């Protein structure tokens, strides 16, 4: 981008700042200006036009080199906002404008610029979601499966394990060859550094573009974060690379947009959010999907609830836009279960169709059983007075819950997930400590019988095989 003098000489137009509202500037003049155009200030800063009315326009500041004052000159550029994209950004942390934050000494020479707004492909450019996206988390992969190209909302209160789940998923997807775009939206610097350090310590940073905006950044920069991430994902999609995009989180993004809208004197709607907030997020998330040509952008947006309230405005908006949601429950978290996912209140609308038949059968069998287990769980305190059938249901349910418990950052293959779930379900193994058996099998993952199990097509056949081969397995 050139400086103010260059554009003044080119277009022979200038405007003047008449009012400054935090990171929003009101400019008078520039009669040929258009919406979303970039303007350059006399001091070297620049911003994007968000609103035009009568003889004035409102400009969202994206970069300022000094304090903007009334009377300062402004020139138009006749160009819309673009961000740099490319494989050269893999292994870096950048801000929403594409400027590298870490590593400090890295520079990118060959840069392609791409508009942050793109046309959303119609149904003729979409394909059925038919490949499973494996997170490495047993509970999700077995009972709440995700598909490549799915938009799955991750929702829950603060500090209930949402980011931990996302980081585990990112780690597994990178091991399976996928490129990841992780957008941290308006986060504290300490939280950003924790995520960055995790990527470095797990040696997966080379396959990640980490786009971060801090809580102390300008509202306009924070607002752009998910758009930069999606634009970067579209660059890789256009080159035939499957991409996973994480938005952590869109609740913060909505609050930032509300603040910008109120400063712009937009008429407030429900909870003071502007009327186009649903369109804003729907337009962003619809850029993800499974596309013709066998390439996909999978999107995992995050929303934060307060006191477990799932009926909040932004929460219900995002539920309506996405293809399901995974709900992290505070009450389950305090019981010590990890991940703290509330299965009955979680939904995956298109993921089950991506599972192989044996996994679909296991999913159906275990989901139906857990419904029965939940209804009988309150009877457990009766102890010896329980009937043998109720005791069997409670024992099996407890063992399945133990199998679903998983350490932070631990990844379990889909074949081993199926085996462990079947072992917890199988009555003939009730006399064996399931946690010790799980630990033993995870160390023996390359045994021949495990590979044979992976070739089975029927869940009942798997249960019969495990019963007959108990001595070899234990």
Residue numbers annotated as active site: 349
Q: Is the CB of residue 35 less than 8 Å from the CB of residue 48?
A: no
- Whole-Å CA distances, 127 to 71, 121, 281, 349: 54, 11, 22, 16
Rg (C-alpha) for the chain, rounded Å, is 26
Token pair for 310: 């799932």
Are 318 and 303 spatial neighbours (Cβ–Cβ below 8 Å)?
yes
Question: How far apart, in whole angstroms, are the C-alpha atoms of residue 293 and residue 28?
Answer: 48
């Amino acid at each position: 981008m050139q400086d103010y003098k260059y554009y003044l000489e080119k277009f022979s137009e200038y405007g003047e700042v008449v009012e400054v509202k935090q990171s929003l500037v009101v400019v008078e003049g520039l009669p040929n200006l258009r919406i979303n155009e970039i303007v350059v200030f006399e001091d070297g800063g620049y911003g994007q036009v968000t609103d035009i009315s009568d003889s004035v326009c409102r400009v969202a500041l994206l970069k300022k080199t000094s304090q903007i004052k009334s009377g300062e000159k402004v020139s138009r550029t006749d160009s819309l906002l673009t961000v740099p994209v490319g494989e050269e950004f893999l292994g870096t942390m950048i801000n929403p404008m594409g400027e590298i934050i870490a590593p400090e000494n890295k520079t990118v020479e060959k840069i392609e610029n791409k508009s942050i707004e793109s046309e959303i492909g119609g149904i003729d450019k979409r394909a059925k979601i038919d490949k499973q996206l494996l997170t490495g988390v047993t509970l999700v992969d077995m009972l709440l499966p995700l598909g490549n190209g799915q938009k799955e909302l991750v929702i829950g209160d603060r500090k209930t394990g949402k980011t931990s789940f996302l980081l585990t998923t990112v780690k597994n997807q990178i091991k399976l060859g996928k490129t990841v775009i992780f957008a941290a939206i308006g986060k504290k610097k300490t939280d950003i550094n924790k995520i960055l350090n995790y990527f470095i310590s797990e040696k997966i940073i080379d396959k990640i573009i980490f786009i971060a905006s801090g809580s102390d950044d300008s509202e306009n920069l924070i607002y752009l974060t998910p758009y930069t991430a999606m634009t970067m994902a579209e660059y890789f999609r256009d080159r035939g690379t499957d991409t996973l995009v994480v938005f952590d989180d869109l609740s913060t993004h909505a609050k930032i947009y509300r603040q910008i809208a109120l400063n712009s004197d937009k008429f407030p709607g429900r909870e003071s959010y502007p009327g186009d907030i649903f369109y804003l997020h729907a337009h962003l998330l619809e850029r993800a999907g499974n596309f013709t040509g066998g390439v996909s952008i999978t999107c995992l947006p995050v929303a934060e609830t307060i006191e477990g309230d799932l009926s909040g405005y932004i929460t219900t908006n995002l539920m309506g836009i996405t293809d399901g949601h995974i709900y992290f429950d505070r009450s389950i978290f305090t019981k010590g279960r990890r991940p703290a996912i509330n299965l009955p209140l979680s939904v995956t609308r298109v993921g089950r169709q991506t599972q192989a038949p044996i996994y679909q059968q296991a999913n159906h069998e275990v989901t139906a059983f857990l419904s029965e287990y939940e209804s009988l769980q309150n009877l457990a305190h009766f102890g010896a007075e329980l009937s043998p059938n109720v005791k069997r249901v409670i024992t099996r349910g407890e063992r399945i819950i133990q199998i679903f418990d998983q350490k932070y950052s631990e990844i379990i293959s889909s074949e081993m997930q199926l085996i462990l779930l079947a072992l917890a379900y199988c009555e003939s193994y009730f006399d064996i400590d399931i946690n010790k058996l799980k630990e033993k099998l995870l160390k023996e993952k390359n045994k021949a019988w495990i590979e044979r199990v992976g070739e089975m097509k029927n869940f009942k056949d798997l249960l019969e095989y495990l019963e007959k081969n108990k001595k070899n397995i234990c």
